[in-house]
Structure 1
Amino acid sequence: MLLLAMVLALNGADIGTIGAAAVQLEAGLGIGQAQLGLLATASSGVGVLACVPLGVLADRTNRVRLLVITVAVWAAAMIAGGLAPDYRWLLASRLLLGAGVAAAGPVVVSLTGDFIPPAERATVLGWILTGEIIGAGIGLLVGDEVAAALSWRAAFFLLGGVSAGLAWALWRLLPEPARGGADWPSRQQGGSGQGQQGPGRQAADRAQAAVSTHGIEPVPDRVLREDPNRWSLARAVIYLLSIPTNRVLIVASATGYFFSAGLRTFVVVFAVRHFGISQMALAGPLLVIGVAALAGVALSGRLADRALARGHLGVRILVPAAGYVAAAIFFVPGVWLPSLVAALPLIALGAAALAAANPPLDAARLDIVPGQLWGRAESVRTVLRLVAEAAAPATFGWLADRFGGAAGQADGVGLRDTFLIMLVPLLANGLILVAARRTYPVDVATAAASQRPGTT
């Protein structure tokens, strides 16, 4: 769990470092906010192209080896970025970084599904996803301190060294689990704590048990009758997009990450200009926001799993929906108020609500997709997520330049108005997600039927 969380932390730290060093990058390379946003966009853009092929590899090859290569590429890209003599060199290094970003999501989700029993996945995913929050916080705090005290290059070198160390740790310490998913022990196993492995597992998890209790039947046409590893990529993608709940969850997740990526990229610049505080003084407020986000991501999965154990079937859908709506409500006054003392609690609550949406959402996706397709399913979702993360910094930066002008950039008005506008799709995202509550039980039943003995 710790190693997988550290993998996700790399991506968060990378984007956070770009945001933390924004002032130094703008001054040192002579660039504007739109070009700054493009630096964060570039790696995600390349990741979009590489993600689906790497998702296929995650279903068919040794995932730990693939993850080690990914993190090693990450380290090389960060060190190359630190050596950049100009903006073009730095942008090129971000393109190399995108190849590493692409594999992380599918591999981490696939390994989690095979390490963790279904009924505990939202809880454990909550802990693993804290890596994204901690990584973003480390990128913002450490990157901010290093960039201010030394240079933005030193911040890049530091992150590259950490990435190289993680690649070694993954190679030495992380085992490759059997495919097919961890499960709860069946009655015949006598509660030994080791569930069956493989697609033909018999024990049902809590989501499947709740579906069975309500007498919900699978969709016959979508129950797998053959091994999907024999399918072409196009056929697998068509099947995954034929799952109604999966389509909604993919869009919901991408919308949430769109706002998060824009926020992480420009939060330091916004705080310095809007609240009128120095960059060095941001460590305390950023720590408060980070702790709130950690609490949200760690608690939401645990609460969702407990509610599911009590028979609340739609909880893994309703918790993310409530999180997105609450985040939009808290962020509006938090971004608008000119006083940091008044705004900080609201921004912290918004960050907690936004982070709380992810663990139940990720667990729900594992519930509705047969285990043989987890890698490709996550790669399809990651494509849209990376498109959103690629578009967010450039979009936020472009809008901030348009709304703010020279005067608006100086006092943060352009970024303030941009954040407020981008809260509208975040609010709509939560409301639309509620619709998936109706299709989720049927899709859980269909995924369960696809993994019973004799179905593949």
Structure 2
Amino acid sequence: MRSAHKSAGPAPHHVHLNPLRLIEILLQQEKHWLNAIPRPRAILLLALTQGLASLNLAALGTVAPALESHLHIGNVAYGLLSTASILTGAAAALPVGILGDRQQRVPLLTKLILLWALAMLLSGISPGYDWFLITQMLAGAAGVSVGPVIASLSGDLFPPSWRGRAFGLIVGGELLGAGIGMILAGTINTLSNWRMVFVALAAMAILLAVLLWKGMREPERDNMNKLAAQLTQESAEHAPETTVSGKQPKRYLIEDIRKKSIQPVRKRILAEDPTQWHWLRAARTILSIPSNVILITASSAGYFYFTGLLAFGILYLTQRFHINTMAASTLFVGAGLGGIGGVVASGWIADFLLRRGLITARVWVTGIAFLLTIPFFLLALHTNRQVLEFIWLFMGSAALGATNPTLDAARLDIMHSRLWGRAEGIRISLRYILEAAAPFAFGWVSTHFSESYCHLQHCGDGYGLRISFEIFTVLLLVATLLMLTAIFTYPRDVATALFSQQVQKPRKP
């Protein structure tokens, strides 16, 4: 009885620093977490919408041989399809981010999905290459620009203590979309032709738009204002709100800032509602937040490396192990499933540590994930066995995927809620501009380290791409170091955003 009573008491402050105890607690609370996910319908719909851009790019890659044959194009013209789609989406994310801060977001998101469906349908009936290129640019504009709207919606749907978990599931939709795109496009292309692939994608998008329109209501925009008001109300400390059961509701981020007396940066506290600000003024404010610049840079570095892997991973495996494309694709997709596990696990772990009082939990989890990615990929590049290659690629994908939900949640924490859409639009534009350059950069480096330049026996096939993958792991190291600097800026930036929320009254969208 004494031991039972002792275990039922409050956990010691240092529990979360013990790895074995942490794993034990995670396993004990797994069932409770699965049953406590808020707004599961919203998470599912947003995850499916998040996957539109990757769904299209994956379908393009799967039907590439058929497209080149029927449209009479080569590799350069085919590559232009993906590049044009990505760059158009990067440009569209900026104005859509503005609309996301000023208009109702569910109707806006529905319109973007329908626009994407129209682009897919027009792609399926394209009479020639020029037509197809234009429709893919339209698809990129609609599919990529859903990101700022989803970020803004998620910020109001989920409180700070839940955002890591919610983003873990939503970002998982992006990876899931790529997998579904490959499987669906391959199956339909085999049974019918490449045109029916895009017609089927259009039908799926129309169904998603209907489900979103009927299944999700527009959340209130003043949720963060209500939370922030607790930060300076003296009554909140002495007479906290209680639930029916008599327990005090915990606002983890808010309470930690109050208890630890974290002060905002006074000169950056907003004195007015930024909803109607000119875009340049909003951009200056967004980029003046130190933690935001750090998080954007780290995120861009991670996505740059991920895009290089996506572009040349299958080709590297075929050269390295002398296997056909189908076997290499199976190995690569299977290893990529680790990314889905990573995005779900990291969001949960970061939120758990946040509830244990570690304000910089999301920064720490992201930094450690970036750091772990480096040895996992280096081990994968230096093995001659397919089984070990798969294991290390799986672990590396999990670590790289683990950086995304925590970064997404952290960016919302440090930003005024009426700037979420524009802040995400800026980040997405920078991300996709860099992504468009990644395949060229990886390919250019690989040509300067081809097998003919290496006379050692261990070089073997795929040497150039292996060196390219190794060199660009420097980006992951840079991202790790950046996250270490964010530890010092993140708490004050969170406090500044919360103080800015309560200065002015929110306006209705």
Q: TM-score band, normalised by the shorter chain?
A: 0.7 to 0.9
The one-letter code of the counterpart of 1:312 is: L
Instruction: Determine whether 1:19 maps to 2:61.
Output: yes
Between the aligned partners of 1:96 and 1:426, the Cα distance in structure 2 is: 32
TM-superposed CA distance for 1:338, in Å, is 4.5
Matches within 5 A, 1:274-423: 274-282=320-328, 284-397=330-443, 399=445, 412-423=462-473
Q: What secondary structure is seen at the aligned counterpart in 2 of 1:329?
A: helix
Q: Are 2:271 and 2:503, in contact at CA under 8 Å, matched by a contact in 1?
A: no
2:300 match: 254
Q: What secondary structure is seen at the aligned counterpart in 2 of 1:435?
A: helix
Q: What secondary structure is seen at the aligned counterpart in 2 of 1:427?
A: helix
1:79 match: 121
Q: Are 2:270 and 2:503, in contact at CA under 8 Å, matched by a contact in 1?
A: no
> Which consecutive residues of structure 2, in runs of 5 or more, have no partner in the other structure?
1-42, 231-235, 455-459
TM-superposed CA distance for 1:16, in Å, is 2.3
TM-superposed CA distance for 1:148, in Å, is 5.5
Between the aligned partners of 2:216 and 2:252, the Cα distance in structure 1 is: 28
Instruction: Determine whether 1:430 maps to 2:480.
Output: yes
Between the aligned partners of 2:133 and 2:61, the Cα distance in structure 1 is: 15
2:51 match: 9
> Which consecutive residues of structure 1, in runs of 5 or more, have no partner in the other structure?
194-202
Tell me the number of residue pairs that the alignment of Structure 1 and Structure 2 aligns.
Answer: 446
1:143 match: 185
The one-letter code of the counterpart of 2:243 is: G
1:445 match: 495
Distance 1:336 1:91, change over 3 A: farther
1:174 match: 216
Matches within 5 A, 1:123-142: 123-142=165-184
Distance 1:181 1:444, change over 3 A: same
Q: What secondary structure is seen at the aligned counterpart in 2 of 1:175?
A: coil
**Structure 1 stretch displaced more, 53-62 or 178-187:** 178-187
Between the aligned partners of 2:382 and 2:75, the Cα distance in structure 1 is: 20
Could you state the TM-score of these two structures normalised by the residue count of structure 1? 0.88
**Structure 1 stretch displaced more, 11-20 or 107-116:** 11-20
Matches within 5 A, 1:46-85: 46-85=88-127
**Structure 1 stretch displaced more, 69-78 or 140-149:** 140-149
- Percent identity between matched residues is 38
Question: Residues 146-202 of structure 1, C-alpha deviation per residue, up to 9 Å, x if partnerless?
Answer: 445654444333323222221222222221111133677987653379xxxxxxxxx
2:81 match: 39
Could you state the TM-score of these two structures normalised by the residue count of structure 2? 0.79
Q: Which has the higher contact order (CA 8 A, sep 6+)?
A: 1
Question: Residues 49-83 of structure 1, C-alpha deviation per residue, up to 9 Å, x if partnerless?
Answer: 22211111001111111111111121222233333
Instruction: Determine whether 1:230 maps to 2:280.
Output: no
Q: Are 1:13 and 1:139, in contact at CA under 8 Å, matched by a contact in 2?
A: yes
Q: What secondary structure is seen at the aligned counterpart in 2 of 1:434?
A: helix
Between the aligned partners of 1:443 and 1:30, the Cα distance in structure 2 is: 53
Between the aligned partners of 2:447 and 2:62, the Cα distance in structure 1 is: 19
Between the aligned partners of 2:494 and 2:351, the Cα distance in structure 1 is: 15
Distance 1:287 1:134, change over 3 A: same
The one-letter code of the counterpart of 1:210 is: D
TM-superposed CA distance for 1:323, in Å, is 1.3
Distance 1:77 1:369, change over 3 A: same
Question: Residues 298-356 of structure 1, C-alpha deviation per residue, up to 9 Å, x if partnerless?
Answer: 01011001111111122211111121222122112323444422201111111000100
TM-superposed CA distance for 1:360, in Å, is 1.1
**Structure 1 stretch displaced more, 33-42 or 214-223:** 33-42
The one-letter code of the counterpart of 1:13 is: L
Is the radius of gyration larger for structure 1 or structure 2? 2
TM-superposed CA distance for 1:412, in Å, is 4.6
Q: What secondary structure is seen at the aligned counterpart in 1 of 2:264?
A: coil
Between the aligned partners of 1:427 and 1:156, the Cα distance in structure 2 is: 39
**Structure 1 stretch displaced more, 160-169 or 261-270:** 261-270
TM-superposed CA distance for 1:268, in Å, is 3.5
2:164 match: 122
Aligned pair partner of 1:163 in 205, 208, 219: 205
Instruction: Determine whether 1:207 maps to 2:257.
Output: no
**RMSD of the alignment, in Å?**
3.0
Q: Are 1:35 and 1:394, in contact at CA under 8 Å, matched by a contact in 2?
A: no
Distance 1:54 1:30, change over 3 A: same
Between the aligned partners of 1:454 and 1:430, the Cα distance in structure 2 is: 36
Distance 1:82 1:268, change over 3 A: farther
Q: What secondary structure is seen at the aligned counterpart in 1 of 2:219?
A: coil
Q: Are 1:323 and 1:357, in contact at CA under 8 Å, matched by a contact in 2?
A: yes
Question: Residues 17-68 of structure 1, C-alpha deviation per residue, up to 9 Å, x if partnerless?
Answer: 2333445555665656554443222112112222211111001111111111
Between the aligned partners of 1:415 and 1:320, the Cα distance in structure 2 is: 27
Between the aligned partners of 1:124 and 1:235, the Cα distance in structure 2 is: 30
Between the aligned partners of 2:402 and 2:96, the Cα distance in structure 1 is: 28
Distance 1:360 1:228, change over 3 A: same
Between the aligned partners of 1:387 and 1:405, the Cα distance in structure 2 is: 31
TM-superposed CA distance for 1:91, in Å, is 2.5
Instruction: Determine whether 1:90 maps to 2:132.
Output: yes
**Structure 1 stretch displaced more, 364-373 or 208-217:** 208-217
TM-superposed CA distance for 1:279, in Å, is 3.5
Between the aligned partners of 2:344 and 2:311, the Cα distance in structure 1 is: 23
Q: What secondary structure is seen at the aligned counterpart in 1 of 2:212?
A: helix
Distance 1:401 1:29, change over 3 A: farther
